[in-house]
Amino acid sequence: MKNRSLVSINDYSKEEYLKILDIAEEFEKNPKQNIFEKYVVATLFFEPSTRTRLSFESAVNQLGGKIIGFSDASSSSVKKGESLKDTIKTVANYSDLIVMRHPLEGSARFASEVSDVPIINAGDGANQHPTQCLLDLYSIRKTQGKIDDLHIAFVGDLKYGRTVHSNVIALTNFKCTFHFVSPTELKLPSAVKRHIKESNLEYYQYTDLSEVIPKVDILYMTRIQRERFSDPMEYERVKNAYILNGNMLANSKPNLKVLHPLPRVNEIDENVDEMKQAYYFQQAKNGVYVRQALMAAILGVK
Amino acid sequence: MESKKLRTELVVSALENGTVIDHIPSKNVFQVIKILNLDTFDNQILFGTNLDSKRYGKKGIIKVKNKFFEIEEINKIAIVAPSATLIVIKNFEIIEKKPVEVPGIVDKFIKCINPNCVTNHENIHTRFTVIDKDAMKLQCHYCEKTTSKENFIFI
Ligand SMILES: [Zn+2]
């Protein structure tokens, strides 16, 4: 993985991301090491995403690296009309690795082609966000001790949720069974289902959340946004059907964990937060270790 | 009928050296001209549309004098004219005659349908992988979205 960009989850093989998860485990035990001392990491956020940026910057800081960059495009030369190519080529002169988030789909792939240093895609529009996917795999393995042979439910907006799409595609490398819970309007696209079929894995679709809870090891919740509905009445009708609250977990398997990419709005009731099934805050914390592992592998220090 | 056939053949064989692209669907002749950038050539170019064809009812044909295309170049036209035949002529004789093949990669000449794709905002040549040769579905190398035949816009 040394010097190789990570734009899309498919850029790395299963063995490569398992390797990153192994390195992440080392960092979880010992997150503060001085191994990035010689390196400058650029974080270019052409659109703001405080959570993701802080996670990357914390990862770099804890390893002793330096950070340059910007947190939204209005404060940068992009505002003055500089092309993406010129911005990337310039920053590549000043850094060893570029982490970028950009509102346009395909921007990170393009950047990886013009940059002399590797690019980590921290989100390109609705397309890819591979470090979210890696930290989700890490969280699944961490809580279940394995990724194979699990029953995994994805709940909420499965049509537009890019996190769900990349996770499903990554998980087809493992022997998982999928359970998809969504309103009819927001079902998983057939292009993603095709990946499951091609991997000879099984999936089931539901519109009722409570039905799926006793069956699964992982319950991956996502947000449902009002603007995704062509009919606002339909949104009002379904919005409360996909809210998880504590008493719904009464019949869950003992090993069930609830994941969520955060930020949440109201789809997980706060009464779940203190329950043993709640894992979403730890999941966010795992993001730091996984990002440390990825950057360390790309910089060639692990 | 016989005289029309003769005339079509004459149109083809009258070329001393060059390339004939035959069996183009009539409605796609101008797209083929665009894809191959024939409008920028100095060579003598003749083309016809709505000619009678035994196989297709009506067809189009393009002749380019003193020009021999690389096969990768000519295969680009299979995106809009998969039925086309390439005929290479030297000294009034047919040297080579073969159908075009749909390429694996399509570069530069089709626009990505996704308005939020980086190729529609920055100065970038488009690039697609052909993921379905029969339905002619192209996956954008950048945004990973699919553009299909009915949405093709030529750059
Ligand atoms: Zn595109």
3-state helix, strand, coil in chain A (%, to 5): 45, 15, 35
- Other CB atoms within a 10 A radius of the CB of residue A119 amount to 27
Here the CATH number for the domain that contains residue B60 is 3.30.70.140
Give me the pLDDT at residue A76, please: 65
Give me the pLDDT at residue B155, please: 81
Residue B126 has pLDDT above 50, yes or no: yes
Name which of B111, B112, B114, B116 to mutate to probe chain A: the one with the most chain A Cβ atoms within 10 A of its Cβ. B116
Between A237 and B65, where is the model more confident?
A: B65
Give me the pLDDT at residue B8, please: 54
Residue among A29, A80, A184, A226 flagged as catalytic: A80
**Considering chain B, what percentage of its residues have pLDDT values greater than 90?**
57
CA distance to partner chain A, nearest, from residue B149 (Å) = 17
**Do A204 and A215 contact (CB within 8 A), yes or no?**
no
Could you say which of B99, B114, B133 is where a domain stops?
A: B99
Give me the pLDDT at residue A252, please: 96
Interval B72-111: pLDDT, tens: 888 889 988 988 999 999 998 999 999 999 999 998 889 9
Give me the pLDDT at residue A61, please: 98
Give me the pLDDT at residue A29, please: 97
Here the CATH number for the domain that contains residue B140 is 2.30.30.20
For domain A131-284, give the fold: Rossmann fold (3.40.50)
A124: chain B residues, CB-CB within 8 Å: 118, 143
Give the distance (Å) from ligand 1 centre to CA of residue A195.
20
Q: Cβ of B144 under 8 Å from any chain A Cβ?
A: yes
Q: Check whether residue B87 and residue B112 sit in a common domain.
A: no
Q: Check whether residue B91 and residue B39 sit in a common domain.
A: yes
Q: How many CB pairs under 8 A join A and B?
A: 52
Q: Is residue B65 part of a domain?
A: yes
Q: Is residue B32 part of a domain?
A: yes
B114: chain A residues, CB-CB within 8 Å: 105
Q: What is the pTM of this model?
A: 0.88
Q: Check whether residue B21 and residue B70 sit in a common domain.
A: yes
3-state helix, strand, coil in chain B (%, to 5): 25, 35, 35
Residue B62 has pLDDT above 80, yes or no: yes
Q: Check whether residue B21 and residue B90 sit in a common domain.
A: yes
Give me the pLDDT at residue A15, please: 95
- Per-residue confidence at B14, pLDDT binned at 50, 70, 90? confident
Q: Is residue B5 part of a domain?
A: no
Q: CA-CA distances (angstroms) from residue A274 to A64, A112, A174, A220, A241?
A: 34, 42, 30, 17, 22
Residue type, B130: V
Q: Check whether residue B95 and residue B138 sit in a common domain.
A: no
Q: With 0-12 CB in 10 A as exposed, 13-18 as middle and 19+ as buried, what is A253?
A: middle
> Which residues form the domain of B138?
105-151
Instruction: Taking residues B41-60, report their average pLDDT.
Output: 86
Q: Is residue B84 part of a domain?
A: yes
For residue B100, what is the DSSP state? -
**CATH no. of A31-128:** 3.40.50.1370
Give the distance (Å) from ligand 1 centre to CA of residue A116.
23
Answer yes or no: A101 catalytic.
yes
Give me the pLDDT at residue B2, please: 46
Nearest residue to A135 (alpha-carbon basis) of A297, A285, A2:
A285
Could you say which of B99, B117, B141 is where a domain stops?
A: B99
CA distance to partner chain A, nearest, from residue B38 (Å) = 29
Give the distance (Å) from ligand 1 centre to CA of residue B135.
18
Give me the pLDDT at residue B9, please: 55
- Per-residue confidence at B21, pLDDT binned at 50, 70, 90? very high
Give me the pLDDT at residue A81, please: 81
B144: chain A residues, CB-CB within 8 Å: 8, 105-106, 127-128
Interval B68-77: pLDDT, tens: 998 888 888 9
**Considering chain A, what percentage of its residues have pLDDT values greater than 90?**
86
Q: Check whether residue B59 and residue B112 sit in a common domain.
A: no
Give me the pLDDT at residue B13, please: 53
Q: Where are the alpha helices (DSSP H) in A37-150?
A: 50-62, 84-94, 107-114, 130-144
Give me the pLDDT at residue A77, please: 64
Give me the pLDDT at residue B1, please: 44
Instruction: State which residues of chain A have pLDDT below 50.
Output: none
Give me the pLDDT at residue A57, please: 98
Q: Cβ of B138 under 8 Å from any chain A Cβ?
A: no
**Do A217 and A258 contact (CB within 8 A), yes or no?**
no
Q: Is residue B66 part of a domain?
A: yes
Calpha distance A8→A41 (Å, rounded): 20
Q: Beta A151-155 vs A177-181: how paired, if at all? A: parallel
Q: Check whether residue B119 and residue B54 sit in a common domain.
A: no
In chain B, the residue whose alpha carbon lies closest to the alpha carbon of A127 is B143
Q: Which residues pair with A157 in a beta bridge?
A: none
Q: Where in chain A is the domain with CATH 3.40.50.1370?
A: 31-128, 131-284
Residue B4 has pLDDT above 60, yes or no: no
As for how many domains chain B has, the answer is 2
Q: Check whether residue B123 and residue B92 sit in a common domain.
A: no
Q: Is the ipTM of this complex over 0.95?
A: no
